[in-house]
Amino acid sequence: MSNIVAIVGRPNVGKSTFFNRLIQRREAIVDAVSGVTRDRHYGKSDWNGKEFSLIDTGGYVVGSDDIFEAEIDKQVELAIDEADAIIFMVDVESGVTGMDEEVANLLRKVDKPVFLAVNKVDNGKRAENAVEFYNLGLGEYYTIASINGSGTGELLDALIEALPEVEEVEETELPRFAVVGRPNAGKSSFINGLIGEDRYIVTDIAGTTRDSIDTKYNRFGFEFNLVDTAGIRRKAKVKEDLEFYSVMRSVRAIEHSDVCLLVVDATRGFDAQVQNIFWLAERNRKGIVILVNKWDLIENKESNTMKEFERHIRKQLEPFTDVPIVFISVLTKQRIFKAIETAVEVYKNRSKKIKTSVMNDTMLPIIERNPPPAYKGKYVKIKYCMQLPTPQPQFAFFCNLPQYIREPYKRYLENQLRKEFDFHGVPVAVYFRKK
């Protein structure tokens, strides 16, 4: 589990530029995860070896200027509630604005580390102008220029210093299944349906209070921990439909789990907010099962509607379409145990270890039949491959010119791995290394 750091502030102060800079630094280290660029409001970063999750609240504010203020207040309150530290960004060009003062009022009451970052300070004159931000009453400030990164080092040093120690979750051997999704999709009912009145619970392990609640669960002879985000206390002030809310809630549960059961409300469809949570799980390389709930409420279902709905979901998931989709009704308990059985299969797929000899015997002939296309007149020869010793499936292919392998071929190999070894429901990472 890593700490959560939220970047807050009014629009157009440079939050996203700063966010992207931090995320890329991290991704450059771990082999950039290529794929479709998604709305990037959530990411992982690290500094001096300490990892943290980063949330850019800017991407969640929508609406005209007058709606902005209310939305920003809500987000700051949420960040205060959920994050371990807060970076409050302001802009030296426009100086202190009324909205900045309002955010500062909220942040002064907070019992968490708050870092005031004055952005767009790229010369001495502007550094002098930054002094006026002392008036916000948040103490020391950090001058940065997120466009070129100057000053971010000092800010991050201070941030890392202030982050609380993360309690390591006791490593149980039991698989952890997180039930995630947007509010009112039926997460609580799904869990209650599983547990039933006669409660199959062995023990209740309370996570840290504001984390999720873990329930040890035993059914059909397998045992696992159910990580429930639905039962967490709700803040009355926070509007249920706030997209940011679902994401903040899901981050911890997802990072905490092996497999995510993403509950989708069939009447609302596979909308942007649900997709956000899906890509969150994908980026964390968790197993994923999609549960389409409330299917019984869909009017005039022709024989092919379910197929259509499924096709629509897979279209949104491209390129990662190898994900189980189960249609359930928590009201009638239809297929809820099927959902758990599927999650167990996905868990097994995710923990699969393939012997290097088996992998080479299987993959090298496939590569021989369809080698990487030549690039700039150079031929790539893949000599050897192996699974990396990580908790989730990652594979290294060793070759003479790794830099010449393009995205489509990488995807081709990933699909072949899925076909040969069955990684249904699990993100697979493929890396090319110099032999």
Residue 158 has pLDDT above 90, yes or no: yes
pTM summary value: 0.71
Q: Are 394 and 428 in contact (CB under 8 A)?
A: yes
pLDDT computed for residue 217 by the predictor:
73
pLDDT computed for residue 196 by the predictor:
67
pLDDT computed for residue 207 by the predictor:
34
Q: Which fold has domain 176-351?
A: Rossmann fold (3.40.50)
Q: DSSP string covering 366-433, please?
A: HHHHSPPPPBTTB---EEEEEE-SSSS-EEEEEES-GGG--HHHHHHHHHHHHHHH--TT---EEEEE
Q: Are 325 and 266 in contact (CB under 8 A)?
A: no
- For residues 377-397, give the mean pLDDT: 91
Q: How far apart are CA 263 and CA 274, in angstroms?
A: 9
Do 3-162 and 356-434 agree at the fold level?
no
Residue numbers in the known binding site for GTP are 9-16, 56-60, 119-122, 181-188, 228-232, 293-296
pLDDT computed for residue 243 by the predictor:
59
- Beta pairing, strands 394-399 & 382-387: antiparallel
Residue 318: band (very low, low, confident or very high) from pLDDT cuts 50, 70, 90: confident
* Superfamily name and number for 356-434: K homology (KH) domain (3.30.300.20)
Residue 169: band (very low, low, confident or very high) from pLDDT cuts 50, 70, 90: low
Domain 3-162 is of which CATH architecture? 3-Layer(aba) Sandwich (3.40)
Residue 65: band (very low, low, confident or very high) from pLDDT cuts 50, 70, 90: low
Q: Measuring CA to CA, which residue among 237, 242, 235, 277 is closest to residue 257?
A: 277
Q: Are 133 and 118 in contact (CB under 8 A)?
A: yes
Pull the structure tokens for residue 276: 């956000």
Q: How far apart are CA 368 and CA 391, in angstroms?
A: 29
183 preceded by a cis bond (ω within 30 of 0): no
Q: Measuring CA to CA, which residue among 230, 202, 229 is closest to residue 216?
A: 202
Which residues, at least 6 apart from 83, have a Cβ–Cβ distance to it below 8 Å?
4, 5, 6, 55, 112, 248
pLDDT computed for residue 172 by the predictor:
55
Domain ranges of the chain: 3-162, 176-351, 356-434
Q: Measuring CA to CA, which residue among 350, 168, 341, 180 is closest to residue 254?
A: 180
CB atoms within 10 A of CB 349: 21
Q: Are 17 and 56 in contact (CB under 8 A)?
A: no
Pull the structure tokens for residue 260: 């995510």
Residue 215 has pLDDT above 80, yes or no: no
Q: Are 425 and 349 in contact (CB under 8 A)?
A: yes
Nearest 5°: CA angle at 8, between 6 and 9? 170
- For residues 88-97, give the mean pLDDT: 92
Q: DSSP string covering 17-53, please?
A: HHHHHHHHHHHHHT----S-----SEEEEEETTEEEE
Residue numbers in the known binding site are 9-16, 56-60, 119-122, 181-188, 228-232, 293-296
Return phi, psi of residue 176, to 5°: -115, 120
